[in-house]
Amino acid sequence: MNINSLGILYIVATPIGNLGDITFRAIETLKSVHCIVAEDTRHSQPLLQHYGIKTPLFALHEHNERERTAALLDRLKQGESIALISDAGTPLISDPGYYLVREARVAGIKVMPLPGPCAAIAALSVAGLPTDKFTFEGFLPAKSGARLQCLEKLRHESRTIIFYEAPHRIMDLLLAMQQVFGDDRQVVLAREITKLFETIKSDALGQLIPWVLADANQQRGEFVVIVAGLQTVSDDMEQEMQRILQILLADLPLKQAVELASKITGQKKNDVYELALRLKNT
């Protein structure tokens, strides 16, 4: 029990497919708390049975979270400890629990994380895309207009972008991404992570889409979609392009100078052209 005699609310990560992906501490905690609140009790039953966990189980999902929170806080205030789990992975990450955690913290109750699997982080760790900065977008809206609007806002995002998607919408999402990010943008499709048909496919959207379309199996299961951020020219390269362009522009017409500078630096003609225009205008 907590020193101030309040109970502790444990936020416990559970496997995202492979039952072995649970920590010793998670199992011990799930066995020792007064009750476990789960997103879907039927879904969590096999995991609890597998590890011989007999703790009483209650449901906490998006439709009853607000109404159940008061009763759970009362139990915590009386010194009982509670563990929150979701159907898979880390609770609150595109899963219920935010309201309960917020209210518990407001009430001065200790909330402890028991870290473990999270599909977004597992996918990112094998994507081969920059991980120093990334943004997690979760599920985009199901309606095509709203989805496109969200993607438009991310058109110039330079950080790696992580999405969750359901199998029946995966093709719509990839096609909308192609419309906004273009054929050349690198995307990693992480399907069924830690499960039998785990597939991690990395390719430019223009190649990835026909590959997914050609095999109906690649449209089944659970998906994390990771999009490379927009690559912009580094400051050093911009300085070098500027130096080369200034020499060429002194003797050549703009179009020819841009073509040569693009060949010399290996940078896209459009980027070199934009810089050349800026140089001409200053």
**Rounded distance between C-alpha atoms, residue 183 and residue 177, angstroms:** 9
Among 192, 238, 240, 259, binds ligand SAM (CB under 6 A): 192
Q: Which residues pair with 227 in a beta bridge?
A: 161, 187
Q: Which of 154, 190, 226, 275 binds ligand SAM (CB under 6 A)?
A: 190
Which residues pair with residue 160 across a beta bridge? 134
Whose Cβ is closer to ligand SAM: residue 6's or residue 193's?
Answer: 193
Q: Are 196 and 19 within 8 A, CB to CB? A: no
Kindly tell me which residue out of 1, 166, 175, 213 binds ligand SAM, with binding defined by CB under 6 A: 166
Could you say whether residue 223 binds ligand SAM (CB under 6 A)? Answer: yes
12 in contact with ligand SAM (CB under 6 A): no
Smaller CB separation from ligand SAM, 224 or 245 = 224
Q: In which residue are the tokens 């008061």 written?
A: 70
Do the beta carbons of residue 224 and residue 120 sit within 8 Å? Answer: yes
Q: Is 223 helix (H, G, I), strand (E, B) or coil?
A: strand
Which residue of 81, 86, 186, 218 would you call a contact of ligand SAM, by CB under 6 A?
A: 86
Amino acid (one-letter) located at 135:
T
Selected range binding ligand SAM among 144-152, 169-177, 221-229, 238-246, rule: CB under 6 A: 221-229
3-state helix, strand, coil in the chain (%, to 5): 45, 20, 35
Q: Does 93 bind ligand SAM (CB under 6 A)?
A: yes
Binding segment for ligand SAM among 69-77, 179-187, 190-198, 264-272 (CB under 6 A)?
Answer: 190-198
Do 272 and 258 touch, CB atoms closer than 8 A? Answer: yes
* Per-residue contact string for residues 107-136; x = within reach of ligand SAM by CB under 6 A: -----------xxx----------------
Three-class secondary structure of residue 111 per DSSP = strand
Is residue 89 a contact point for ligand SAM (CB under 6 A)? yes
What does the alpha-carbon distance between residue 7 and residue 101 come to, in Å, rounded to a whole number?
13
Residue numbers of the site for ligand SAM (CB under 6 A)?
A: 16-17, 86, 88-90, 93-95, 118-120, 164-166, 190, 192-195, 222-224
